[in-house]
Structure 1
Amino acid sequence: MANPWAGEVSLSLDGVPHVCKLTLGALAELEEQLEEGSLIDLVERFEAGRFRARDVLALIVAGLRGGGWQGRAVDLRAVEIGGGPAEAARAAAQMLARAFAPPGGDG
């Protein structure tokens, strides 16, 4: 079960719940993978609703890896995400909000 106070988000892959969390290491990995801009640019795209599928996938992979998953983006090609693309986007946005929420915030 994900702990929102620890910045965690739950995401179901092929019916199995996984904990996602944007740790500092996961954020560094994400920043390295971004094709343009910075993490702040990514946050701004999500806030404005201008995110791309590539943004969602990068966030999901980084969050899963921050939660201990050992896979890669290619491993998600044939995986059924519970709730589909809309749930993946919601989880990605929630991870960003929780990663950058001030202490004591409800992100």
Structure 2
Amino acid sequence: MSGGVMSEGVMGRANRRRGEVEAVIDGERRILCLTLGALAELETAFAAESLAELAARFSSGRLCSRDLMRILAAGLRGGGNRFSDEDVAGMVVEGGVSACAAIVRDLLVVTFGGEAEEGGANPRLPQQQEA
């Protein structure tokens, strides 16, 4: 699958149990992961006081293109790629903004838990998870 998120098992490089996803971005297969460092970076970028506040923002369903770019950039850096936000802003994902949103959705699902639902819903908040 070019552009977007790779199906689990297709590539074999990303370990979803470690919060990794694999996607083709700018024509290259790349690993993305929201590590603690990447999450701290996003807390600062979004002026969030906690992970719960960050998760609430992400699950609102109202992310702008700048939000998608910041999350992709942090995920790429967390996956070991050396790109600035400006580098990521100039990258191409086949499938456009909907493919970018799918990558971000999958990354948030493996990071915060929950399951991606049909129709692209964001993951549930961590405090909404069933025990």
Q: CA RMSD in A?
A: 2.1
Distance verdict in 2 for CA 1:70–1:2, change over 3 Å = same
Unaligned runs of 5+ in 2: 1-12, 117-131
Q: 1:33 aligns with which of 25, 31, 45?
A: 45
Distance verdict in 2 for CA 1:61–1:25, change over 3 Å = same
Query: In structure 2, how many angstroms separate the alpha carbons of the residues matched to 1:56 and 1:78?
Result: 13
Residue 89 of structure 1 aligns with an amino acid whose one-letter code is: A
Query: In structure 2, how many angstroms separate the alpha carbons of the residues matched to 1:49 and 1:63?
Result: 19
Looking at both structures, which has the greater relative contact order when contacts are Cα pairs under 8 Å and sequence separation is at least 6? 1
> Which has the larger share of helix?
1
Unaligned runs of 5+ in 1: none
Query: In structure 2, how many angstroms separate the alpha carbons of the residues matched to 1:28 and 1:45?
Result: 14
How many residue pairs align between the two structures? 103
Q: Which has the larger radius of gyration?
A: 2
* 3-state secondary structure, aligned to 1:81: coil
| Fraction of identical pairs, as percent | 38
* 3-state secondary structure, aligned to 1:48: coil
Say whether the 8 Å CA contact 1:14–1:79 is kept in structure 2.
Answer: yes
* 3-state secondary structure, aligned to 2:73: helix
